[in-house]
């Protein structure tokens, strides 16, 4: 496919997304109907689509309308690409621009320019203060690819060498001792020996930093209460070089965990009836995902005030539920991939107000300007 044909394909996929089809489904539908498209074409169309979704509001502004074609026009304008080089009408390229399209578009301002919903902007500012605009701006750009070195399978230098042998270039990232940022060859990672042998896992650097912040030690009984795919359970198992129990309200979300654990050389028994006491219970709770909207931009536009209130209520219930599972003197670690105070600091403050037997021993908010996703971690200690 030509670069112009890829732009046209992305515009068509964006129209389906605007009509309500989830992005992955819209991309899959296009891919199945486009057998002529090679791996590079699919990757390029996907990149266009996700670039626009990160900038859903501002591309409509700079492109002069809400169709996929106008949003792609808006994206090209923001990227400084002359649209006339692609909107040629030749072959499968988009039709040439009309006079109205040439004259259309406006310079976005405020929350529109920062690609946040208007309703969220006041909360965003209250949560992030002076960092608010920068944090929103970071979410308008692609996220780096990070790997976690699995120390159960070898050292960081050994993992770097194994990746280099497969032409995957990485550098250590300061957010966590195990974090490597992929500089080139990211698309080769999932098929590399380093990955299939369990030396490395795909995991955001701030997600790794959250695990580094936990008071973990070998020999502890540890529970990952909201384990999902198990990324954090695996990272904790590597840190304590021992088993970590995994629980999730939706056990199907843990279905890949046995294979991932086997690859990593980790022991992660799953349970639906966790029995305390545990030295540490991690609650990586369901949240708005506002810290990871670079990777999953659809969430930014799906979130509503009602949806956020529901999430906050679920977070409160989960915290209350795990209290009896934590040993006296043990740790309840509360984590979100959010940057909103309602899900983070305010949630923890409400917990402490309702549970006098607990104290906050550590908390940290990670922002995309630190390099990884936005994450929050609070370590709550049960007074002995």
The answer to whether the beta carbons of residues 77 and 52 sit under 8 Å apart is no
Nearer to ligand SAM, 7 or 337 (CB): 337
Binding ligand SAM by CB under 6 A: which of 23, 116, 226, 341?
226
Judge contact between 156 and 360, C-beta under 8 A. no
x-or-dash pattern for ligand SAM, window 276-315, by CB under 6 A? --------x-x---------------------------x-
Q: How many angstroms separate the first and last alpha carbons of the chain?
A: 65
Radius of gyration, alpha carbons of the chain: 23
- Whole-number minimum distance, CB 218 to ligand SAM, in Å? 21
According to the binding rule CB under 6 A, does residue 347 interact with ligand SAM? no
146 binding ligand SAM? (CB under 6 A): no
Q: How far is the CB of 342 from ligand SAM (least distance, A)?
A: 16
Q: Which of 226, 283, 337, 379 is catalytic?
A: 337
Contact between 253 and ligand SAM by CB under 6 A: the answer reads: yes
Q: How far is the CB of 206 from ligand SAM (least distance, A)?
A: 12
Check residue 228 for interaction with ligand SAM (CB under 6 A): yes
State the alpha helices, DSSP H only, in the chain.
Answer: 3-18, 23-32, 39-54, 56-63, 68-79, 99-103, 110-113, 121-128, 132-138, 156-165, 193-196, 205-212, 231-240, 257-264, 298-302, 305-322, 345-354
Binding mask 96-135 for ligand SAM (x = CB under 6 A): ----------------------------------------
Tell whether the torsion through CA atoms of 44, 204, 287 and 251 is positive or negative.
Answer: positive
8 Å CB contact between 78 and 62: yes
Tell whether residue 79 is a contact of ligand SAM (CB under 6 A): no
Q: Which of 74, 83, 198, 231 binds ligand SAM (CB under 6 A)?
A: 231
Question: Pairing mode, if any, of strands 200-202 and 278-284?
Answer: unpaired
User: Parallel, antiparallel, or unpaired: how do β-strands 222-224 and 278-284 relate?
Assistant: parallel
Annotation says 337 is catalytic: yes
| Stretch touching ligand SAM by CB under 6 A, among 29-37, 114-122, 245-253, 259-267 | 245-253
Instruction: Pick the binder of ligand SAM from 28, 156, 316, 318 (CB under 6 A).
Output: 318
> Which SS3 state, helix, strand or coil, does residue 71 take?
helix
Which residues form the catalytic set?
A: 337
Residues that bind ligand SAM (CB under 6 A): 225-229, 231-232, 248-250, 253, 284, 286, 314, 318
């Amino acid at each position: 496919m030509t670069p112009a044909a890829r732009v046209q394909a992305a515009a068509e996929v964006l129209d389906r997304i605007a009509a309500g089809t989830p992005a992955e489904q819209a991309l899959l539908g296009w891919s199945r109907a486009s057998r002529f498209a090679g791996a590079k074409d699919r990757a390029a169309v996907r990149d266009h689509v996700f670039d626009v979704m990160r900038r859903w509001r501002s591309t409509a502004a700079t492109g002069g309308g809400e169709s996929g074609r106008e949003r792609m026009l808006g994206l090209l304008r923001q990227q400084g690409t002359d649209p006339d080089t692609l909107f040629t009408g030749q072959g499968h390229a988009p039709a040439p621009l009309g006079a109205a399209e040439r004259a259309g578009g406006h310079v976005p301002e405020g929350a529109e320019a920062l690609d946040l919903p208007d309703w969220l902007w006041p909360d965003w500012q209250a949560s992030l203060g002076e960092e608010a605009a920068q944090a929103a701006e970071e979410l308008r750009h692609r996220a780096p690819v990070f790997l976690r070195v699995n120390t159960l399978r070898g050292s960081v230098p050994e993992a770097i060498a194994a990746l280099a042998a497969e032409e995957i270039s990485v550098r250590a990232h300061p957010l966590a001792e195990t974090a490597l940022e992929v500089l080139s060859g990211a698309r080769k990672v999932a098929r590399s020996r380093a990955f299939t042998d369990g030396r490395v896992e795909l995991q955001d650097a701030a997600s790794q930093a959250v695990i580094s912040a936990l008071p973990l030690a070998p020999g502890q009984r540890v529970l990952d209460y909201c384990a999902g795919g198990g990324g954090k359970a695996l990272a904790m198992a590597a840190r304590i070089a021992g088993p970590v129990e995994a629980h999730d309200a939706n056990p199907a979300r843990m279905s890949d965990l046995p294979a991932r654990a086997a690859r990593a050389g980790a022991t992660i028994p799953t349970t639906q009836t966790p029995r305390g006491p545990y030295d540490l219970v991690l609650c990586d709770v369901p949240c708005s995902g506002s810290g990871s909207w670079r990777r999953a931009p659809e969430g930014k536009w799906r979130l509503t005030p009602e949806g956020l209130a529901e999430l906050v209520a679920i977070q409160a219930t989960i915290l209350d539920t795990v209290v009896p599972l934590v040993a006296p003197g043990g740790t309840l670690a509360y984590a979100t991939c959010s940057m909103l105070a309602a899900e983070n600091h305010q949630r923890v403050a409400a917990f402490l107000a309702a549970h006098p037997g607990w104290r906050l021993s550590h908390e940290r908010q990670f922002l995309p300007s630190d390099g990884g996703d936005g994450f929050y971690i609070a370590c709550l200690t049960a007074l002995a």
